[in-house]
Amino acid sequence: METIQLSALVVAYNEEARLAACLDGLTFADETVVVLDKCTDGSKSIASGYTDRLIEGSWDREGERRNVGIEACRGKWIFEIDADERASDVLAEEIRRYDEAARRPRRDHDDDQLRRIAHLRRYRGDRLRTCKFASIDDPRAHPLIAIREQIITRKSLGGIQTDLQSRVLDTSGKPIAGLFAVGEAAGFGGGGVHGKRSLEGTFLGGCVLTARAAAAAICVG
């Protein structure tokens, strides 16, 4: 019996327009598992042309349907991808290039990210919280986990506008009833109040300060 090392997992909800292109790029996997959540379009017909590992159902939460798919995967490693994403050769080449550069002597680094890491680690405080050089595709670091994020706001752009009571303001500058924002969501990025070059680990004071202001405003009503 052939050993399954890598499983590809796709969770879909009415994705007939994009599913085939996604599945086309998963031929490197030993098996492909497709979870069809409340699909009423042609997603099942498309998926069945690529794999017989289909799971149909109806779930209220994304985590529930994803866990069902993970449990169905038989591989040692699981590569999860959304139907609107593509696993390309470009990604594999980028990882290979980075790992090759990371193994070179520091003076021969030609990757901008590696040079920035080296520069940060010259400062003793940053050396404690900045990782050493490491290959991405290192068997000792497996399994690799990819996290898909969507940026809502950035502290460098000021975050959500609030007043001194941590109440969120609308576009006209008036408080929105019952809505508060504290910490980094309100753009409180430290501002150096905790010392030179203070970063994530030293935002706590500002977070506590704005949270106390919000709590006080809520109690007052």
Contact in structure between 38 and 107 (CB atoms under 8 Å)? no
Q: If you average pLDDT over every residue of the chain, what do you get?
A: 79
Q: Pairing mode, if any, of strands 54-57 and 77-82?
A: unpaired
For the chain, which residues score pLDDT lower than 50?
153-157, 190-192
> Peptide bond preceding 175: is omega within 30 degrees of 0, i.e. cis?
no
Q: Pairing mode, if any, of strands 167-169 and 175-180?
A: antiparallel
- At residue 185, the pLDDT reads 79
pLDDT in tens, 118-142: 777 777 766 666 667 777 777 777 7
Please list the residues that pair with 76 across neighbouring strands: none
Q: For the chain, what percent of residues have pLDDT higher than 70?
A: 77
Pairwise CA distance, residues 33 & 7, whole Å: 7
pTM: 0.48
**In order of start, what are the domains of the chain with their CATH numbers?**
6-82 (3.40.50), 89-141 (no CATH), 155-220 (no CATH)
